[in-house]
Structure 1
Amino acid sequence: MNALDKPLLETDISLGHLLETIDGVRELPLIFSYDGRPVKSGYHVTEIKAGQFAALDCGANPEAWSEIFVQLWDVDEENRAHMAAGKFAAIIRKVSEHVLLDGSAKLTFEVSDGIRPMQLYCASMPTVQGGALHVELTPRPASCKPRDRWLKEENRKSSACCGPSTAQSACCG
């Protein structure tokens, strides 16, 4: 199987899912990791943006979606510990008093150490490990939406074939 044949991985989580996870572990440190390492313990949430997007993809299909951008400044200041998950949720709540945040929106992280350019990341499912809530951030790649939809449909069709093939079925024949 070459890279073009691999099924798409669902690595995007919504803001609502992240906040639901935090509700059960508010006191734990929240540690984001990217590029193979955790953010520094003094990281800041410097900006939260909500966007509504409308576009035309490369197949001339109209697209529309909501997206929440969380900007992380990866710095280490004043020997601070990693932010508690509850503090992160409180920051989101404060922003939601002024900006409409759609809990089902795609969540994108913008991360920079203040020196390197900001990079875009998507977030994996949060996990509790070693007394902390961990969220792995992976680079957000470019994609071809028509191809992605076709692959998703092909994967759905192939996973629907789970019984023995029959002469009347085109499945798994």
Structure 2
Amino acid sequence: MNAIDKTVSTDINLGDLLAVLAVAPDAPLVFSYEGRPVRPGYHVTEVKAGQFSALDCGANPEAWSEIFVQLWDIDEDGRTHMPAGKFSAIIRKVADHVRLEPTAKLTFEVSDRERPMALYCAAAPRLVAGTFEVFLFARPASCKPRDRWLAEEQAKSACCGSTASASTCCT
């Protein structure tokens, strides 16, 4: 999974991420980006929340909440990957001081010691062999009017495709 198909969202929000991680709090949490896992000593260096207002390229007003989780991809002190419960505890501690909307868009900012920080969205975590895997995908720019149009077209074809042509949803 290296590319994002903008017709199908891979984003997970913070509430959904924490709910899945609660199933196995002792399981190591391994984020992967650019085809490789983060190093075992990674840090959550910052969690921030924002409310955004914008005007898209179709002159439509946009507003959304977004939570940024900054990961520093390093390997220090012979550590193992952070347990899911520790990650959740960090988020709860932040939530004691910063309003974190559970349904907000979730963005990961990842950097190592050499490369600049890059933005990623996250797919739903998978518990594989006792380890949570969370794949991060580069967050590309997009055209929101086009994305809305594609979603509408997908809904129409799902509802009115050849197998559903007799359906009452086709008008």
Above 0.5 in TM-score?
yes
- Name the residue aligned to 2:35: 36
Write the distance in 2 (CA, Å) between the matches of 1:164 and 1:91: 47
* Structure 2 counterpart of 1:84: 83
Q: How many residues align?
A: 165
Post-superposition Cα deviations, 1:18-40, rounded to whole Å, max 9, x if no partner, equal 00001111000000000000000
Distance 1:38 1:7, change over 3 A: closer
1:103 aligns with 2:96: no
Which residue of 1 is the match for residue 132 of structure 2?
133
* Pair 1:145-2:144 in alignment: yes
Summarize deviations over 1:28-66 as a string: whole Å, max 9, x none: 000000000000000000000000000000000000000
Counterparts of 1:112 and 1:164, CA distance in 2: 47
Secondary structure, counterpart of 1:55 in structure 2: strand
- Aligned partner of 1:3 in structure 2 is none
The Cα of 1:164 is off from its aligned counterpart by 5.8
Q: Which portions of structure 1, spanning 4 or more consecutive aligned residues, are displaced by more than 2 angstroms?
A: 162-166
State the shift of 1:7 in Å: 6.0
Distance in 1 (CA, whole Å) between partners of 2:8 and 2:156 is 16
The reply to whether residue 68 of structure 1 matches residue 77 of structure 2 is: no
In structure 2, relative to structure 1, the CA distance for the partners of 1:46 and 1:154 (3 Å cut) is: same
Q: Give the structure-2-normalised TM-score.
A: 0.92
| 2:134 partner SS | strand
SS for the counterpart of 1:86 is helix
- Specify the structure having the higher radius of gyration (Cα): 1
DSSP-derived class of the 2:20 partner = helix
* Cα-Cα RMSD: 1.8
Aligned runs of 1:162-173 on 2, under 5 Å? Answer: 162=161, 163=163, 165=165
> 2:90 and 2:10 mapped to 1: Cα distance?
23
Question: 2:9 corresponds to which residue?
Answer: 10
Give the whole-Å Cα distance in 2 for the aligned partners of 1:127 and 1:116: 27
Amino acid at match of 2:62: E
The 2-side partners of 1:82 and 1:106 are apart by: 25
Cα pair 1:12 1:122 within 8 Å, conserved: yes
Q: Show structure 1 runs of 5+ residues with no match.
A: 1-5
How high is the TM-score relative to the length of structure 1?
0.91
Counting aligned pairs with the same residue, the percent is 64
For structure 2, which runs of at least 5 residues remain unmatched after alignment?
none
